Each structure stands twice: as C-alpha cells, then as structure tokens.
Structure 1
Amino acid sequence: MQKRQFLASAASWAAASSSPWLAGCAAPGATAAPADAIFFGGPILTMNNAQPQVEAVAVRGGRIAAVGQRQAVQALQGPQTRMVDLQGRSLIPGFVDPHSHIGGVGLQAISANLLPPPDGGNASIAELQRTLRAYMQSSPEVGELAVVFGFGYDDSQLRELRHPTRDDLDAVSRELPVVVIHQSGHFGALNSLALARAGITASTPDPEGGVIRRKSGGREPDGVLEENAFFHTLGRLMPKLSQEQAISWLEKAQQLYLQFGYTTAQDGRADPGSVATAIAAAEAGRLVLDVVSYPDILQMGDGAFMQGPYYGHSYTKRFRIGGVKLTLDGSPQGKTAWLTQPYLVPPQGQKPGYRGYAVLSDAKANEQVAKAIANGWQILVHGNGDAAIDQFIAAVRASGPVDRARAVRPVLIHGQTLRRDQIPQLKELGIFPSLFPMHTFYWGDWHRDSVLGDPRAQNISPTGWVLEQGMRFSSHHDAPVALPSSIRVLDATVNRTTRSGQVLGPEHCVSPWIALQAQTLWSAYQHFEDAHKGSIEPGKLADLVILSDNPLTMERHKLATLQVLETIKGGRSVYRLNPQDS
C-alpha cells in the first residue's frame, strides 16, 4: 500500500478506536455563550487528520463552537440548547459538490426518467418508449412546455446497444417535439418534428466539434446528435421559461442535492440564463444550500457578471460565481472523448483507428485558458481523453508564468483516461484533479469490453496514481449524468466495483477516510473554501450530515447501503429522511 494510503488508513483505524489521543477539544471558556445545539452519542468524523474523531460537537450561530470530549463540550449547554443524541449514527461534514450541473438537474427533475437500472427502468428501446408515453399522460410539464423531454437513456445499457432514432421517437409522438438526452449529456435524439423545429435537414452541415448522424447511405439525419450539434440544438428547442418557472426548476434540483447530503452544489457549465436564474433565486431567498457557478467561457456574452458582486470567493445570499468552464472533448462512454490511442470498438459510422475528436483547436484552447488565467479566474476544464488532457496541460504552460497559473488553481474535470506520465505535470502546474471514479460502476464493464479495453479501462480516474504523487483529488457525480448521490460516489471511490461485480483497477481503490475527504475537505479546497467548509473544526460553518452507519467501520462492500438521514446547513436542518423525526 502506498505510504499516503497507509497513513490515511491508519488515521481511519485510529478514528474508530477510543484512544486517549482523540480527546483533544477546543475547550470553551468559562464565559462562552451557550450553544444552540450539541451533537453526541455517535461517531463524529471530522475529516481533520489532526483530530479525526470526537465525542461531541457544539454549534452556535451557524458555526462550529467546540469539538472534543463530550464532558468538555457540554460545558456549553444552556437552558435553550438542543441536545441531539445521534443514537449510534454518524455525523460528518456536509458534502461539497466538486463538479455537477445543478441547472441541468432542474431539467432532469421535470423530464421523463429514461435512466437504466438501478436508477430507472429502461433496459430497451421499447421500455424507453413506454416510459415516454406514460410521462406524456401524467406530466403537467408536457402541456405547459409543448415539448416532451426525456433524460438519461444510455445506449451502452439498452438491449439494442444503440441510440434511439427519429423513427423510434416518431412512434412515441408526431404531434409534439420529442427530445431525449443521453445520460452523459453529450448526445441527444430527436423525433422528426423536433428536427424540423431546429432546422436540421439533409443539407445542414456538421458544426465544429459536433456530428449530425445520418441514415445509412445518405445525408438524411437519423435523429442522433453529438456534442456541439446537440448542445446548439437543445438551446433552440428549449422553451422560454418565466423567471418563476426557472427558479422552481432550480428548487427541485436543490432538493435532490439536499437529499444526498450536499450543502454546497456546483453549476459547472452555466450559461448567462442559468446565472441570472441563480441570482434571482438568491435575491428571493430561495437558495437553501450554497451554489457556486462556473459560466461557460465561450458563452459568457459580455461577461458583466464576472465584474459584479456575485463573483469572488465569498457567497452573497448563498450564491457566487467561482470562475469559468471550458470543454475540450466529449464522453468516453459515448466514444467522443479525444484519445491518443484508438477506441477498442469504434462507434457506428467510424473506421478502425478512430480516436474521438477535439472540441477546439489548440490555438483556441490556448486563447481561452490564457484569458482566464490573465483575469485571475479559476478555470474548470472538461477533459476526459488523454489527448484533451495533453491539450489542457499545454494551454496552461503557454499561458505564462507557472506561479500565475497555480494561483488560480485550474481544475481538470473528469480526467478519466489520465495517463501516469501526465500526473507530475498536473502537480508542477498546480492543476487540481477532480476525478470520476463513479464511472467504474455505471460504465466500467462498457469501458473494458468496448470503449478502452485493458489495461486502459483498469486505470480510468486513477486515484492511486494521484495519491502516489502526494496530491489531493476530489470525486464527483456530474449530475445530471447520474443522480447527485454522495453515497454512490463514496462506494465507487472506495470499491470501484462494476455493474457485473468486478473490481476495475484495484490499485486505485482508496480507504473510506480518503474517499470522504475527497467529497468534503478536498472538494472545499478545490473551491478555495477549505478555511470555512469541509471539516468539523471550531469556527467553520455548521454544515453537517447524519449517516445511518459508520463508513469507516462498516463492511466496505456495503457502503452503497448507507443512507443520508439528515442534512444540516449552517446549523439548521434542511432535509430529513423521516420528517417526523426531530
């Protein structure tokens, strides 16, 4: 076991013991004001390596007032202090979302659920069609929007091993536009009416960084759109929402994040409309968790919001703009990620030797990365394929002095085919890796058998290699690519078990302690927020989660059975699994 993993595992073991060295406490002074609440009676996992587990936590004014031995912390108990007996359940810091698209989760929340098992019931195109028909009969949004949206189909999990086509969707409806979105978010399929509304015909050329798939033997679109072809079309078909509708969608998304213990959520590729909605929600006091937005640097318009009060490291009414986002390639499961070596099985219509493709030229990528760093904007860069990661590394090098680049803490998003030789370069340039081990569950078998083959599939999101270099990483869910499930992220980061039950890349399995840090303290560090989030320490925000079991001591293969029982934001309960419990 690598030294770092060994030390972290030792810390985890010690946290589960009753050793006297865990008894440290930020001892309250004799004149300290009483706490609003004191938590005790279960394992309290602080994510602080210096004091991994404590007996009690006191909260006052939305922040942590004291941690340590129960007897010492209870000195802050007053007549109005709420005493919370955990009854053996675990308390941890609130999860900090290192990468997702909360704005997209709003669309997912009002769309037909086309996810395959275990998150949905769509294992064939016929089942997908039945789901859409049932949704059309029951959903008020269909009548309101006059468009049928479905979210989450996955060609790799459909019995037919292909995308639904315009003909499949015409069988659902010819009277309404039908738009179904791939689980990766990088593809979509449209029926004939939706294609017509979007102005896509046999004479429409493929856009730069995108593909309009055609029927065999001709130029007629078959309904499936890749990358920029899909992104541009979705924007044209999206109904114009009122501000109230847009905020309502955001609130529905917010509830999903709270259900899984997230107290900070990210909007990782926001457009100006999404930014405006989040600001309106913040001003109306309708944000319960913190939302940090990264507008797409290519779609910023005049970018005026980068100069306004919401840009910076501090939240205003629970919202802030943290930097910008840039996308360099597509998805490996959809076989549009840009690789240096060919895909194991090329996708439909592609010849052997196909390696995916870039979204931007090197010159354009260099220009955008340099623009962000020159302005002092943190930049999140979507790079799944190792060729895209090479492009990102080269762009950071070309941007100017290394110290200036390191100061903005650039972030590699996904890094699924990150090569071992690239990791020292990330370290040198100060690029923080936000990895996607959850792919091992959802698409691990597909990566091994069709996308990459071994050994490349074994090393997707190579957390072991990152730790080997003494680096931190974060672990994300990329919702709405998957549900914003902190528990699924935790399980996959620790176990890397595929749908078929195989372990993909055992050398990259990490301890539960490290996996939790990657979802809390290290995620907060990624966002420049670790001074006040991510661990249970005096002075930090009382962002807390109560779990049904102790992830450090339970059997690792059962981590997926953990439940979030309560989410607490700034000392206030904002979600309970059983609302009647108090």
Structure 2
Amino acid sequence: MSITLFSAKRIITMDPSLPEASHIAVQGGRILAVGPLKELQDLGDVQLDERFADKVILPGFVEGHSHALEGAVWQYLYLGYFPRRDPAGQLWSGVTSLADMQQRLRQGAAGLTPGEPLIAWGFDPVFFEGLRLDRRALDEAVGDRPLVVFHASLHVMTVNSVMLERAQLARHAGIEGIMLDQQGYPNGELQEMAAMHAVFDALGRSLFEEVASPAALQAYGQVARRAGVTTITDLYNPLTDEGLAALHEVSVTDDYPVRLVPAMSALSRNAEEGIARLQTCREQGNDKLHLGLVKLMTDGSIQGYTARLLWPGYHDGHPNGIWNAPPETLQQLVMDYHQAGLQLHIHTNGDEAVELMLDAIEDALTLWPRPDHRHTLQHCQFISQAQLRRAARLGVCLNMFANHLYYWGDIHRHKTLGYARSRRLEPLASALRLNIPTTVHSDAPVTPLGPLFTAWCAVQRQSASGACMGREEAIGVADALHMITLGAAYTLRLDHLVGSLEVGKYADMVVLDEDPLSVPADRLRDLRVHATVLGGRVYEND
C-alpha cells in the first residue's frame, strides 16, 4: 500500500507529545508517521506531496453542534438580519425592516404556483424595536397562500392567517406555545416543537425531517468542507428509516468529504423505542458515519424569549420561556438513556434548564454510576459559576455557542439579561479553569458554519456592534483551536479517531494559507481555508 508524505510550513498536531512537525505520512487513509523529514526516512518508498509546502496544516475541524438543515434550508427564502452566503456562494442581503421583509416575501411568492405554500427562514424579531411579527403583518405581504416564517433560532415560527386555518390552530388555542392576541385568537406566533408540529402536520412535511434527503446531506458536506470541517454533527436527527438510509447512501460514497455524527432526537420517540433504535443502528455505521448519540431538547432560545431563566428572569420583564416537555419527563429521559449506557447531548440555553439537567444527571449517576459518561450540555449560554463547579464535579462536558456572542451579544446586554449577567454568556475561561472538557460551535444553520469564526468569537468576545462581551471570559487562540479540533472530538467520543494528528488516527486535516498561532488574534476569522484532507484524500477549495 502506497505512502503519501505531505509537507507543510508548519503542522500543528494537537498532540501534546509532538505539538509541531513539518511532515505527515499517510497510508490507507490513516496517519502512519509525523515528524521532521529526516526522522521519516526509514518509511521506505514514499510519494512526496509538496503542494502544501508553504501552508499550515491542522487537524480537520470538528463541528460538535450543527444541523444537516444547513443543507436543506437554502431551498427556502432567507429572511435573516445579517448578510449571508448560501451553499452556492450567492450573497443574500440582510432583512433590516418589516417593509424589506414583506417585499422579499412578495417576491418569493411571485415565483410559486397558485396556492403553493411559501416557507422562509432566518427572521429574528429581536432586532426590530417594538415589533413582534404576527399573522396580520404576514397577511399584508402574502395572503393568498399558506406562509410559514421560521425564526433564526428555529424554536419559533410565525404563520399567516391561511396557514392558521389550514392547521386549524384556533381549535387548539390552549396549547402552550400557541400565542394569542387580545381577543384570544392565535396571533400567528408558535413557540417550540409542540405548537410547530401542528403546522408540519398540515403541510404534510417537517423541515426537521428534510435531513433525510441525500441531496441535503451532500450540500451539507460541501458547506462543511469549504469551512475546513472534516467531522460534523447533525444534532437533531429523527433517525427515521428513510433518514438512516440517506445517511448510509451519502457516507459510503468515496468522494463524500466529511464524517457524519448524527444524534437522535429523544423527543421523537418514547424512551424504550428510542433506546432500542439507537442500540440497533449504532453498529450500522462506517468510517464516515458514527451513530449512537441522543439529543434531548429542554428549553428554547434566550433571544427568542423561550429559554428558561432562574430569578430574576428576563431583564426587560418578558415572561419566562417554555419547556419542550414537562420537566419531570425531561428528567426521566436522562435517567432512561443514562441507564442504557448511551451518551446524552442536552440542549440547555437558560440557567434554569441547566439546573434541571444537572439535577437529572446527578440523580442518574447516584443510581447508576458511570465513569466517563461524557454527557454534554449543548449551547449552555447562560450558566452560573456554581453550576460550572457542579458540572465539573459530575464529569459533564460543555459545548458553548460562541457565535452567539457576536450575533446576539448586544441584544442580551440591553434586553434579555442586562449588563452583569451578559458578562457571563458562554463563560469559556471559567470552564477551562475548572478543567471541564469544553468546546464551541456554530449551531448552523442558526449561524453560519465556520469554526475559525467560532474560534474568533471565543477569543475576541466581540458583539456585532464591536462591544466587548466580558473580557474575563475570553480564551487564547491555542485553547480556541483545541476546542474546534480535539475538544469537540472528545465530546463526541471520537477523540481516538479524529481531532489530532497522531499515528493511527484518520488522516483528516485542514490546510490554511496562514498560521493561526502567528497572525494577530483579531484576524482569526479572516484566515482562508485552502483545502481539507479526509482519509488522505485532498479537497481543494476554489
């Protein structure tokens, strides 16, 4: 079997025993040797590949919390506040006023057949002072067909009157999450999964199940590759038969450029069925498909006012958020999946959700002690110092939504949390001081997929307005790079395979034009990804 020897200006390995090198040998998709050229002469006949001789190589980035929806949502209309590029590279301008939004909706509807539903995504009312999007505002834009607008967090949607009627939501006005106007009629806003599923049923399809499309997974892989990602999650996958077949179909393709790590959504089945499903399918993976994780959704998003906060609640007096299931159900699910020996990835945005899940994990560990369980709190945007110490004691991992600092930092400072509490959003430095296994993520498509940008957010802690969001919780570049490589791999229980450039691991690498440890920290987000390497196969960016 042939040996390829890649050379680089610098190889940053994330291996504490050999942190840097100039050459890396690959055989059969795995790393055979790492070191200086003179120490690799005994490998015998090798094929020297010098195309990266003036570049910097790191382990391929590992995105520990994103969604394959990134490959599906762009078939729908983008309404986000910030400009953004789609997978084809087209730049979409941001929607910064209600009039702009309505005009884009009219344009989108003009290209559809009569009566065909219009679906849009990315809208974030928190940026529009005094506006809470309702059915009347949508009716003014599009009133002749069903209209569904997903908010940026994907935890809230707003629909027009036609969609309300089709889903017969007026008959279910008492369900939590169906927001009402002053007359007690649904105003079009639907919060969290239980309320939104009535719309999915009426449409005959769910956005969250569109990850079962091989085309969506292919698009997802290409977006990841261009961002330097070689291992990527889909952290809310229904894992239906159709979805599992799609995952297998794309992952066995020779040229698929990433390794997929889906997590089954716990609330899509009862615990007995979910455990059986995971135990059956987790042995059905391959080198590019790793199964066995479960995702539990507790609360919503802070900026969407659906996260659960402890006293004093929301800074601007908004009512507390809602649970995606009764708290006792969420706690029981932790017990059940923990007892079954499975690893939980738990969505917790507000500190009340964090507290509930720490209670559940502690109870589960008391009844069924499990060393190295690696249960991971996902997003974990708002967590107290006491909760951090408790997480450390319980062996809990954290995956913090660092991009959130940039996109919603100003909103939290002025609206949802106030000055003091906004300083401890994503307290990464505190987590490291307590030796908690910690990583950071993008939650794509909620924010764009790009680990270098995520690392920049963790280092700079800068909001979109340029304000500093708590300098005391900033981390260094080296720690940020560890979080988007080996740190993320650890939370996925894949650190024996990916995350560092060590002998025996997959030959997964990202190639950068510049050295992230040498450029000024504020330029980290601007570094160009030249190529990725998956199992020794090179994928160069245009």
**1:563 to 1:34, Cα distance in 2 relative to 1, 3 A:** same
* Structure 1: tracts of 5 or more residues without a match: 1-32, 348-353
Q: What is the rounded CA distance, in whole Å, between the counterparts of 1:145 and 1:539 in structure 2?
A: 56
Q: Counterpart of 1:296? A: 265
Query: Secondary structure in 1 aligned to 2:335?
Result: helix
Q: Please tell me whether residue 323 in structure 1 is matched to residue 323 in structure 2.
A: no
**1:439 to 1:245, Cα distance in 2 relative to 1, 3 A:** closer
Query: Secondary structure in 2 aligned to 1:365?
Result: helix
Q: What is the rounded CA distance, in whole Å, between the counterparts of 1:161 and 1:551 in structure 2?
A: 42
Q: What is the rounded CA distance, in whole Å, between the counterparts of 2:476 and 2:492 in structure 1?
A: 23
Q: What is the rounded CA distance, in whole Å, between the counterparts of 1:559 and 1:572 in structure 2?
A: 26
Post-superposition CA distance 1:422-476 (Å, at most 9, x none): 1121112111111112111000011101010121101111011111112220101
Q: Please tell me whether residue 128 in structure 1 is matched to residue 96 in structure 2.
A: no
Query: Secondary structure in 2 aligned to 1:149?
Result: strand
Q: What is the rounded CA distance, in whole Å, between the counterparts of 1:246 and 1:146 in structure 2?
A: 21
**Alignment match of 2:154 (pick from 182, 185, 188):** 185
Query: Secondary structure in 2 aligned to 1:184?
Result: coil
Query: Secondary structure in 2 aligned to 1:425?
Result: helix
Q: What is the rounded CA distance, in whole Å, between the counterparts of 1:233 and 1:106 in structure 2?
A: 24
**Counterpart amino acid of 1:307?**
Q
Q: Counterpart of 2:90? A: none
What does 1:486-497 align with in structure 2 at a 5 Å threshold? 486-497=451-462
Deviation (angstroms), 1:107:
3.0
1:272/1:300 contact within 8 Å kept: no
**Alignment match of 1:235 (pick from 195, 200, 205):** 200
1:373/1:404 contact within 8 Å kept: no
1:438/1:492 contact within 8 Å kept: yes
Q: Please tell me whether residue 414 in structure 1 is matched to residue 414 in structure 2.
A: no
Deviation (angstroms), 1:182:
0.8
Q: Counterpart of 1:35? A: 3
**1:240 to 1:50, Cα distance in 2 relative to 1, 3 A:** same
Deviation (angstroms), 1:171:
2.8
Post-superposition CA distance 1:273-308 (Å, at most 9, x none): 3x6324334146345422112112121263343232
2:30/2:506 contact within 8 Å kept: yes
**1:50 to 1:223, Cα distance in 2 relative to 1, 3 A:** same
1:279/1:319 contact within 8 Å kept: no
Q: What is the rounded CA distance, in whole Å, between the counterparts of 2:203 and 2:536 in structure 1?
A: 38
Of 412-421 and 218-227, deviating more is: 218-227
What is the percent sequence identity of the aligned residues?
28
**Alignment match of 2:431 (pick from 433, 443, 466):** 466
Q: What is the rounded CA distance, in whole Å, between the counterparts of 2:263 and 2:387 in structure 1?
A: 25
Q: What is the rounded CA distance, in whole Å, between the counterparts of 2:513 and 2:66 in structure 1?
A: 25
Deviation (angstroms), 1:496:
0.7
Q: How many residues align?
A: 525
Q: Counterpart of 1:345? A: 316
Q: Please tell me whether residue 276 in structure 1 is matched to residue 276 in structure 2.
A: no
Q: What is the rounded CA distance, in whole Å, between the counterparts of 1:392 and 1:577 in structure 2?
A: 41
**1:281 to 1:35, Cα distance in 2 relative to 1, 3 A:** same
Deviation (angstroms), 1:553:
0.9
Q: What is the rounded CA distance, in whole Å, between the counterparts of 1:481 and 1:238 in structure 2?
A: 22
Q: What is the rounded CA distance, in whole Å, between the counterparts of 1:484 and 1:374 in structure 2?
A: 34
Q: What is the rounded CA distance, in whole Å, between the counterparts of 1:50 and 1:539 in structure 2?
A: 15
Deviation (angstroms), 1:245:
8.0
Q: TM-score, normalised by structure 2?
A: 0.90
* Greater than 4 Å deviation, 4+ residue runs: 74-77, 142-145, 237-245
Q: Counterpart of 1:212? A: 178
Superposition CA RMSD, Å: 2.5
**Alignment match of 2:304 (pick from 323, 334, 342):** 334
* Structure 2: tracts of 5 or more residues without a match: 85-92
Q: What is the rounded CA distance, in whole Å, between the counterparts of 2:333 and 2:296 in structure 1?
A: 8
Q: TM-score, normalised by structure 1?
A: 0.85
Of 464-473 and 173-182, deviating more is: 173-182
**1:337 to 1:135, Cα distance in 2 relative to 1, 3 A:** same
**1:427 to 1:264, Cα distance in 2 relative to 1, 3 A:** same
**Counterpart amino acid of 1:325?**
K
Q: Counterpart of 1:69? A: 36
1:543/1:569 contact within 8 Å kept: yes
Query: Secondary structure in 2 aligned to 1:455?
Result: helix
Q: Counterpart of 1:305? A: 277
Q: What is the rounded CA distance, in whole Å, between the counterparts of 1:406 and 1:571 in structure 2?
A: 34
1:100/1:265 contact within 8 Å kept: yes
Deviation (angstroms), 1:211:
1.8
Deviation (angstroms), 1:122:
0.9
2:403/2:447 contact within 8 Å kept: no
Of 448-457 and 93-102, deviating more is: 93-102
**Counterpart amino acid of 1:505?**
G
Q: Please tell me whether residue 435 in structure 1 is matched to residue 407 in structure 2.
A: no
What does 1:546-557 align with in structure 2 at a 5 Å threshold? 546-557=511-522
Q: Counterpart of 1:530? A: 495
Q: Counterpart of 2:64? A: 98
**Counterpart amino acid of 2:105?**
L
Q: What is the rounded CA distance, in whole Å, between the counterparts of 2:525 and 2:456 in structure 1?
A: 5
Q: What is the rounded CA distance, in whole Å, between the counterparts of 1:244 and 1:366 in structure 2?
A: 27
Deviation (angstroms), 1:559:
1.4
Deviation (angstroms), 1:51:
2.0
2:213/2:246 contact within 8 Å kept: no
Q: What is the rounded CA distance, in whole Å, between the counterparts of 1:214 and 1:423 in structure 2?
A: 37
Q: Counterpart of 1:23? A: none
Q: Counterpart of 1:175? A: 144
Q: Counterpart of 1:56? A: 23
**Counterpart amino acid of 2:107?**
A
